[in-house]
Amino acid sequence: MDMITAIIDGWQDGRQRDPCWLPRYHEGMKVDFHVHIFPTWTEEEREELCRRERAFREMYGSSKASIVGHDLLLRSMDEAEIDVSVVLGFAWDDPKLCRRHNDYLLEAAARSGGRLLPFCTVNMGCPGAVEEVDRCAQAGAVGLGELRPQDQGWDLQGPAGEALAYLARKWGLALLFHVTEPVGHLYPGKGGLALNSFYNFAASHPDLTIIGAHLGGGLPFYAYMPEVQEVCQRIYFDTAACPYLYRPEVYLEVVRKIGAERLLFGSDFPLLGQKRALAHIQGSGLGGSALDLILGQNAQAMLMKR
C-alpha cells in the first residue's frame, strides 16, 4: 500500500482530517504562499509533455525554464529562512497528469515534516474532477491551485465553477487562482484567468477562501470603487512574481488601499528566487507590523482555519 492510499484509508476509517504534516505555528514564521515543484518525470518527459500540453509548452518549452523538485525547494527555504511553503499543482489538460502531479505534491508534503503544504489541481472540465478533488482532500490537500480555468478550457462562471465552489465548501479548501493583468508586458503564462472572471467569481462566493495570485491581476488598484473594495477586503492576494511585474512601492499602495491583512507573501519559486522575492518586499518601506502580517501571520490565520 502506498503512502497516499494509506492516508486516505485512515480518514475513511473515521479518523479526524488532520494531516500529519500541518506545521506548528510560531511567532515570526515566514510562509511562502506560492511555490511550484514538479516530479522528476516532468523533466524526463518534457519534450512529449510540451507536444501534448499547450500551457506547459508555453511556460516550460524553453530549456531555460527551471523545473525543480521538493529537494531543491527545501534547500532554497533554508537559505532564505522560509519556514513553510505552499506547493502548487499545474493546470494540466490531461486529468491523468493532474492526478500524477497531485500524488507527488501530497507525498512530498507528507515527508516534509510540516514544511510543505499541498495545493492540488484538477481540470474541472473533465470527467472525474469531483472525485479527484475528493481524493486529494481526503489525502490532506489544504487547497486547490494554481487554478487556470481558461488554460484548461472551462468557464469559471458556468457549472464547472459552481462545482468547484461546492467542493471548496465541502472540504474547507482554499482556492488559489492565477489572475491575468489586463495591461502590461506579455510573458509566458500570463493568460489563465481574466481579471473580470476572477472578480465575478469572488463577488458571487463570499463564503469561500479565495486567493488571487500576482496581486490578483491588479484588482486592488480598483478598490476605490466601493463594491470592489468590499470584495478585496474578504479575499487574499499573493505577491508572487511582483519583482517581475511591479516596482517595490506597489506593496505600499496595495496596503494603503485594502490593508496588509489581505496580502500573502509569495515568491513564484523557481521563476524567482525566494531570497530575491523577500528582499523586494522587505526593501519596500513597509512597516514591521505590516511585514509580519504579509510574511506569515496572515497565512497562519488562514491555514489554522482549514
Cα–Cα dist 192/182, whole Å = 12
pLDDT tens digits, 240-262: 999 999 999 999 999 999 999 99
Higher pLDDT, 168 or 20: 168
Residues 120 and 136 sit within 8 Å (Cβ to Cβ): yes
Tell me the C-alpha to C-alpha distance, in Å, between residue 128 and each of 5, 134, 265: 18, 10, 33
pTM, 2 dp: 0.92
* Range scoring the smallest mean pLDDT among 39-43, 60-64, 138-142, 301-305: 301-305
pLDDT exceeds 50 at position 4: no
pLDDT exceeds 70 at position 32: yes
What was the pLDDT predicted at 26? Answer: 73
Cα–Cα dist 211/18, whole Å = 22
pLDDT tens digits, 174-218: 999 999 999 999 988 999 999 999 999 999 999 999 999 999 999
What was the pLDDT predicted at 219? Answer: 98
Cα–Cα dist 173/44, whole Å = 31
pLDDT tens digits, 110-169: 999 999 999 999 999 999 999 999 999 999 999 999 999 999 999 999 999 999 999 999
Sequence-ordered list of residues with C-beta below 8 angstroms from that of 244, at least 6 positions apart, any chain:
187, 268, 271, 272
DSSP 188-249: TT--SSBHHHHHHHHHH-TTS-EEEHHHHTTGGGGTTSHHHHHHHTTSEEE-TTHHHHS-TT
Mean pLDDT of 88-105: 98
pLDDT exceeds 70 at position 10: no
Cα–Cα dist 94/291, whole Å = 39
Show the beta-strand stretches assigned E in the chain: 31-36, 84-88, 116-120, 143-147, 174-177, 210-212, 236-238, 263-264
What was the pLDDT predicted at 22? Answer: 55
What was the pLDDT predicted at 27? Answer: 75
Virtual torsion, Cα 270, 277, 148, 75, nearest 10 deg? 30
User: All domains of the chain, ordered by start, with CATH?
Assistant: 29-303 (3.20.20.140)
What was the pLDDT predicted at 9? Answer: 45
The model's confidence at residue 28, banded by pLDDT at 50, 70 and 90, is: confident
Mean pLDDT of 226-230: 98
What was the pLDDT predicted at 304? Answer: 74
Cα–Cα dist 103/265, whole Å = 25
The sign of the torsion formed by the CA atoms of 116, 123, 302, 269 equals positive
Higher pLDDT, 145 or 10: 145
Mean pLDDT of 271-276: 96
Instruction: Express as a percent the part of the chain with pLDDT over 70.
Output: 91
Cα–Cα dist 28/146, whole Å = 26
CA angle 230, 233, 239 (to 5 degrees): 130
Residues 120 and 49 sit within 8 Å (Cβ to Cβ): no
